[in-house]
Chains A and B, each alone.
Chain A
Amino acid sequence: MKTLLETRGLTAFYGDFQALFGVGLRVDEGETIAIIGANGAGKSTFLKTLVGIRPNRGQDITFDGQPIGGWPAQRIHKAGLAVVPEGRRLFRSLSVEENLLIGASGGRKGPWTLKAVYDLFPDLVEKRRNPGTALSGGQQQMVAIGRALMSNPRLLLCDEISLGLAPKVVRAIYEAVPLIRGRGTSILVVEQDVSQALAVASRVYCMMEGRVTLTGRPRDLSREEIAQAYFGMEAA
């Protein structure tokens, strides 16, 4: 299987504070990868560094065969790496449909069009003229995912898409994951919700304090190993 994204020894700093200590991660084409970890483990920092809204010059990041470290964020986006940002970050003066359309600004061609996104999330059709922020949390998350898909990414990064949503809504959103992968888009989700992550991922990475502490296929990992890697202590 072809490697789509690979990082080696990725580091990140906020001033003097080091947030990431050499993170290595690989995503193969067609995979669904989950990164799990507690608050402050460095998961979001890792995604922001990947997509270039945090400085990534000189970092060893290979995407689709190209070294993208130091590229401006819009160039990384156009190379086919899209992100659903933490907290959704919909544009509040744009309608739902405009939010989706702006995702396509990069001009990449592929299976994802307005129609395809509405087919994936039929709830959005009747809300298309509403302001993006006048929707329920779950629907807003659908818009954020749709907006990222509109760029026809090779790899879709999802940052905490279950955060603040009811379990039922989270399940509904995760039902879309296999459908997205079925259209040829690989997926990397960052989750605090471990069971959701294990259910959807082909491989998981567990992070703690800026390092990868465990990696493997969900069925090969025991609850104890995950608790150890997630909290840094033996499970009670």
Chain B
Amino acid sequence: MVWVNAIIQGVLLGGLYALFAAGLSLMFGVMRFVNIAHGDFIVVAAYLALTVMVSLGISPWVAVPVVVAVMAATGYLGQRLLLNRVLGKDILPPILVTFGLSIILQNALLETFSADSVRLPAGALETASLTLGDGIAIGILPLAMFATAIGVIAGLQLIFYRTPLGRMLRATSDDAEIVPLMGGNNAHIFAIATGLASAVVGVAGIWLAMRTNFDPAAGPVRLLFAFEAVIIGGLGNIWATLAGGIILGVAQTVGAQIDAGFQILAGHLVFLLILIVKPTGLMPRMTG
């Protein structure tokens, strides 16, 4: 039963990793942009959530939309004012700039919030669980986290395949150069993509804050998990990213069941194994 339990916990944890990965995948898909600061953006969102809810004491019902909206707006403006300037045929400048951003953000967070690890308290929800008999219990919080991941991914899918905006984003992914010949403004579309990705980062940050202790240096590991989830699933397919997150999550919780120190390593090993066996990921498809 402990193994079944480990697998269930892993699947639910996979939802969080899918949330980490979705924004990364979206930005890469639309504009071939690799955001090295992605993990730090998630941590920024976590601190933002903590500040708004704990320090300012604003109700979660107001705070969550505020965090997501602030992240989305910042993402849009950041792309428009900064990141668009380094986008081009060469993929190196965006990597360098976001690497620099990553260092700046970590130090700014350290300066503002100190190195102490913190957590966003979720009250009674933290310990609430559903008992499925036979010693298997599912926490309400991880379940809600998983449901959020499904909801976010379904929402992104809906935007990409059912709206004019999504059509434009997919067209940009295919051939950005001629999108202006359809009346689209590349700078604006890229910024919309980053805004959308940043909204997802906001959601991911809130869940990170509730699920684990975090500190200003917590970003790079989240970036790594996000990369692994995207690559396990296969680039450019958002449901595959969820599958990638779940595989990574299960590998980690099963690894932890074998030996507590084996958790993170088990995830990396499964990632490496899939990279060797199927370098394009399990379900690759190069669309939005």
Point out residues on A near B: beta carbons under 8 Å: 51-53, 72-74, 77-78, 82-83, 85, 89, 91-94, 98, 101-103, 105-107, 147, 151
Contacts and interface: CB of A to CB of B under 8 A. Distances in A.
Interface in B160-205: 164, 167-168, 170-171, 173-175, 177-178, 180-185
Contacts of B170: 91, 93-94
A53 B180 contact: yes
A74 B180 contact: yes
A82 B175 contact: no
Contact of A101 (B164, B180, B184): B164
A73 B177 CA distance: 10
A77 B178 contact: no
Interface in B42-58: none
Contact of A94 (B171, B177, B185): B171
A146 to B, nearest CB: 12
A78 B168 CA distance: 16
Interface residues of B, number: 19
B180 A72 contact: yes
Given A91-B174, A93-B174, A82 B181 contact: yes
Given A78-B183, A91-B175, A107-B183, 6 more contacts: A53-B181, A72-B185, A73-B180, A74-B184, A93-B288, A105-B184
Contacts of B177: 53
A85 B178 contact: yes
B167 A53 contact: no
Given A101-B164, A105-B168, A94 B174 contact: yes
B98 interface: no
A77 B184 CA distance: 9
Contacts of B178: 53, 85, 89
Residue from the set A78, A83, A102, A151 with the largest chain B CB neighbour count within 10 Å = A102
A99 to B, nearest CB: 8
Contacts of A105: 164, 168, 182-184
A93 B181 contact: no
17 contacts: A52-B180, A72-B180, A73-B181, A74-B183, A77-B182, A77-B183, A85-B178, A85-B181, A89-B175, A91-B171, A91-B174, A93-B288, A94-B170, A94-B171, A102-B167, A107-B183, A151-B182
